[in-house]
Chain A
Amino acid sequence: AQKVTQAQTEISVVEKEDVTLDCVYETRDTTYYLFWYKQPPSGELVFLIRRNSFDEQNEISGRYSWNFQKSTSSFNFTITASQVVDSAVYFCALSAGANSKLTFGKGITLSVRP
């Protein structure tokens, strides 16, 4: 069975602060994919990143960076110099097995104050 744990439920920061969103996953599959999605107040899920289990390289995209560590089954997401527009709910998700269905964590509500 697949499981994704996002222990943080709500985070509030002041604009320009850095913030890290934690994600821990469980799976017995050796091939799997990890994702981060953003859900702004409008409700639509916006795809941010996908990593496969064979690629542990960290990735940076603008102010966003991701740290994938198989040894600790974690896939953490850092926003550098946060902005008010980053306020949203962020979901970590896992896909493993033949059907590739997504298993989501409960989400982290990020509030960035001006």
Chain B
Amino acid sequence: EAGVAQSPRYKIIEKRQSVAFWCNPISGHATLYWYQQILGQGPKLLIQFQNNGVVDDSQLPKDRFSAERLKGVDSTLKIQPAKLEDSAVYLCASSSQLAGGYNEQFFGPGTRLTVL
């Protein structure tokens, strides 16, 4: 079974530029998560999708970050415009969880973003 795929693996941009990350979850997984992991810290949830609907985006900086999950499969996370403090690894995860239950999240390799 293929794991969670993410691209690109690395991205370097200058502040005020835009960037987009892509995630393809494990086939059949209804729930998709985007996490931000700043160096030296644990991952922090940015947004959670259940199929193509948003379940939790309370920690997403909506003035500059946006995410979508068209057709309930792939997802894109965008930052526009980027700030220096956005430098981090962006992790995508998926799980087969449906509401009311819990199954472990499987993580992709992440995208390392450097904002100069």
Interface core residue of A98, A101, A106 (most chain B CB under 10 Å): A101
Interface residues of B in 5-64 (CB under 8 A from A): 33, 40-45, 48, 55-56
CA–CA, A95 to B110, complex, Å? 21
Q: Are B44 and A47 in contact (CB under 8 A)?
A: no
A106 touches B48 (CB 8 A): no
Question: B67 near A: Cβ within 8 Å?
Answer: no
Q: Taking each of B41, B102, B108, which has the highest tally of chain A beta carbons within 10 Å of its own beta carbon?
A: B102
Question: Which chain B residues border A30 with CB–CB below 8 Å?
Answer: none
Nearest CB in chain B to that of A104: its residue: B42
A89 to B27, CA, bound (A): 28
Give Cα A93–Cα B112 distance, bound, in whole angstroms: 22
Residue A55 CB within 8 A of the other chain: no
Contact call A45/B43, Cβ cutoff below 8 A? yes
Answer yes or no: A64 CB below 8 A from chain B CBs: no
A105 B107 Cβ-Cβ under 8 A: no
Q: Are B41 and A43 in contact (CB under 8 A)?
A: no
Whether the Cβ atoms of B42 and A101 lie closer than 8 Å is no
Residue of B at shortest CB range from A93? Answer: B42
Q: How far is the CB of A10 from chain B (nearest CB, A)?
A: 11
Q: Which residues of B contact A50 (CB under 8 A)?
A: 104
8 contacts between A and B (CB under 8 A): A4-B42, A47-B107, A93-B42, A95-B102, A99-B55, A102-B105, A105-B42, A107-B40
